[in-house]
């Protein structure tokens, strides 16, 4: 039969009081941070205290009791699985959010109906006015210079709209590229901050007593339990933010620091590419746009003085991750992942806002080259960014100019009109209002030709070379009217030749009238915007649900904390009562036992 220990009961009560008091402090900290963004709910870690072993000659009836509780530290209530799932979905949200943002801006530029009159858009309405002015000239006023001026003024308004649209697209491209570069800078700032926080957390763990591998496996966290939890909260917020820009994988491992001791190390890699390391403990990298060797029209490398390669920023804005450095500029040890720069391609970046913005800046859709499809992205021909919409607008402007110029410079047999001084034949549209050069016309530079604007050229009445300028025939005007309603084939090679390589395909991507081409462009844009918006809504809902699930685990709930506060207050009171009871027992044993009969 065991005997009562003099002080073990007091120690047990004292440890209970201390544990309850510390638990109340943790509860108070949770309550005070209930509105702190990114704060993770904390809990006191406790374990039963076991000391010594059985005496060699101990009685079999000596019942051993535990020695109380120990507070081993404070931990966070966090589910790593939910973190992984949320960050994966957040990368998809970032991708489609950036894509939809650019598509919405494109839609505002191409919003024909919204800016037009009744059911017609701006350019569509102006094309209709041009047709009406030609019909008016055809029916009553063939050869009337005042009506030629009306047609010219209508055409001038049309080219002005083309110029305006092209300038808006160029401004959008410049703004989007600025946003892309700012995003790169933000990512690099995040990587630097995570790297620096890793170092601060590592120092906190070392100062609190680093653990051996066996101790860490047992769940111990250090002599004084200093895990820098608030710094970890800040780091987790940054990782969540980073996941919107890039698809990432986050890994925690034990890093030896000598004498059999380890500290926790965080490593961030590109999702699906464990060899592409963004952060490795106290080392971090930077993202930048690749520098590639400049190529000539034939795809041959351009060299400078002394045969030195001429480098330029990659025209496709492909990225590269630098070697890893600590905040003092010391490079990670050679032979470890991250010791050399790594160039990234489209297959490496399948999600994240950076990739979406990059695609909207570089993808040409049906105008893609062999290099873009065969060497970079097999799906490039189905991805349409700002360059695609610039090119289809150029194609429409170029086709209108080409058709009108041919009709006003050739006869019915397709031969050039020679008696231009008599007939007034000549190009109606040029690439500059200061000249009559019709080559290389785009939506940005299309203009009324210098000769037409100065009435040296006018719309010829007939395509019959036998007739002179005094004829009352109007077959050419009728021909122009029919051309306005005729279907044409649009192919990439009509207006575009890749700077390097060749077009992957020169198939007809649209066949129809000028009005139909406008409808086609708006239809493609509308469908892409709609489908991307629907995908964004789905991913956003999934990310929101996962974030709510995370919050149910990691967030502070006032009701739970109120219950904990009551529980720990009662356990504190009970431990104090135990101490009082033990004191009374010992007092009775020492001062009140064996006194009878005295």
Token readout for 3 is: 């005997």
Q: What is the pLDDT of residues 112-141, one digit of tens each?
A: 544 545 555 688 889 989 988 888 877 665
Question: Beta 273-280 vs 283-284: how paired, if at all?
Answer: antiparallel
Q: What is the pLDDT of residues 381-401, one digit of tens each?
A: 999 999 999 999 999 999 999
Give dist(CA 541, CA 89) in Å, integer. 10
Render the burial of 430-455: b for 16+ CB within 10 Å, e for the rest: bbebeebebeebbbbbbbbbbbbbee
Residue 591: pLDDT band (50, 70, 90) is confident
Q: What is the pLDDT of residues 523-559, one digit of tens each?
A: 999 999 999 999 999 999 999 999 999 999 999 999 9
Residue with the larger pLDDT of the pair 457 and 424: 457
Q: Domain spans of the chain?
A: 1-77+555-592, 119-179+381-528
Contact 351, 94 (CB under 8 A): yes
Dihedral sign (CA 270, 274, 275, 278): positive
Given a cut of 70, is residue 255 above it in pLDDT?
yes
Please report, for residues 30, 574, 575, the alpha-carbon distance to residue 570 in angstroms, rounded to integers and kept in the order given.
Answer: 19, 6, 9
Q: What pLDDT is recorded for position 49?
A: 83
Q: What pLDDT is recorded for position 424?
A: 75
Tell me which residue of 374, 385, 291, 471 sits closest to 98, measured CA to CA. 385
In which element (H, E) is residue 269 found?
strand 261-270
Contact 106, 386 (CB under 8 A): yes
Dihedral sign (CA 381, 382, 386, 389): positive
User: Locate tokens 């009306």: which residue?
Assistant: 150
Dihedral sign (CA 554, 558, 563, 564): positive
Give dist(CA 172, CA 169) in Å, integer. 5
Q: What pLDDT is recorded for position 211?
A: 53
Q: What is the pLDDT of residues 54-88, one digit of tens each?
A: 666 666 666 677 788 888 889 899 999 999 999 99
Give dist(CA 185, CA 194) in Å, integer. 14
Contact 380, 345 (CB under 8 A): no
Residue with the larger pLDDT of the pair 172 and 7: 172
Token readout for 450 is: 């210098």
Residue 444: pLDDT band (50, 70, 90) is very high
């Amino acid at each position: 039969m065991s005997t009562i220990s003099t002080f073990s009961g007091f120690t047990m009560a004292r440890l209970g009081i201390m544990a309850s008091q510390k638990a109340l402090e943790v509860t108070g900290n949770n309550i005070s941070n209930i509105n702190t963004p990114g704060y993770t709910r904390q809990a006191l870690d406790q374990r039963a205290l076991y000391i010594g072993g059985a005496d060699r000659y101990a009685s079999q009836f000596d019942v051993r009791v535990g020695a109380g509780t120990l507070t081993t530290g404070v931990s966070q209530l966090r589910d790593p699985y939910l973190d992984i799932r949320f960050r994966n979905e957040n990368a998809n949200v970032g991708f489609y959010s950036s894509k939809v943002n650019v598509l919405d801006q494109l839609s505002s530029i191409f919003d024909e109906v919204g800016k037009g009159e009744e059911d017609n858009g701006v350019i569509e309405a102006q094309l209709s006015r041009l047709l009406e002015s030609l019909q008016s000239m055809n029916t009553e006023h063939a050869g009337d210079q005042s009506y030629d001026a009306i047609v010219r003024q209508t055409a001038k308004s049309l080219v002005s709209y083309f110029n305006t649209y092209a300038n808006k697209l160029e401004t959008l491209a410049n703004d989007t590229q600025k946003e892309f570069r700012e995003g790169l800078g933000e990512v690099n700032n995040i990587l630097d901050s995570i790297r620096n926080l890793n170092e601060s957390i590592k120092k906190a763990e070392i100062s609190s007593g680093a653990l051996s591998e066996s101790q860490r496996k047992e769940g111990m966290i250090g002599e004084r339990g200093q895990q820098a939890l608030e710094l970890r909260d800040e780091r987790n917020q940054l990782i969540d933010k980073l996941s919107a820009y890039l698809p990432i994988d986050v890994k925690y491992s034990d890093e030896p620091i000598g004498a059999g001791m380890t500290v926790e190390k965080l490593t961030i890699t590109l999702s699906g590419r464990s060899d592409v390391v963004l952060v490795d403990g106290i080392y971090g990298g930077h993202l930048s746009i690749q520098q590639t060797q400049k190529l000539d029209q034939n795809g041959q490398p351009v060299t400078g003085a002394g045969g030195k390669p001429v480098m330029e920023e990659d025209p496709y804005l492909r990225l590269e991750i630098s070697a890893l450095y600590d905040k003092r500029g010391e490079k990670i040890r050679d032979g470890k992942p991250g010791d050399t720069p790594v160039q990234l391609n489209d297959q490496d970046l399948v999600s994240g806002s950076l990739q979406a913005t990059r695609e909207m800046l570089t993808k040409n859709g049906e105008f893609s080259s062999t290099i873009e499809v065969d060497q970079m992205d097999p799906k490039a021909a189905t991805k349409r960014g700002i360059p695609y919409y610039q090119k289809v607008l150029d194609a429409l402007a170029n086709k209108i100019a080409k058709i009108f110029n041919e009709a006003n410079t050739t006869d019915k047999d397709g031969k050039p009109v020679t008696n231009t001084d008599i007939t007034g034949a000549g190009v109606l549209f040029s690439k500059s209002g200061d000249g009559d050069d019709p080559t290389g016309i785009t939506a940005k530079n299309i203009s009324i030709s210098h000769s037409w604007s100065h009435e040296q050229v006018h719309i010829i009445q007939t395509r019959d070379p036998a007739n002179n300028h005094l004829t009352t025939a109007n077959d050419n005007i009728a021909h122009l009217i029919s051309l306005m309603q005729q279907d044409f084939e649009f192919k990439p090679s009509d207006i575009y030749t890749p700077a390097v390589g060749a077009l992957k395909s020169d198939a007809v991507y649209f066949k129809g009238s000028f009005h139909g081409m406008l409808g086609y462009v708006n239809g493609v844009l509308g469908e892409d915007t709609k489908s991307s918006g629907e995908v964004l809504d789905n991913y956003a809902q999934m990310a929101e649900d996962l974030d709510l699930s995370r919050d149910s685990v990691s967030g502070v709930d006032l009701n739970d904390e109120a219950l904990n506060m009551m529980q720990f207050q009662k356990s504190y009171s009970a431990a104090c009562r135990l101490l009082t009871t033990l004191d009374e027992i010992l007092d009775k044993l020492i001062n009140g036992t064996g006194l009878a009969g005295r």
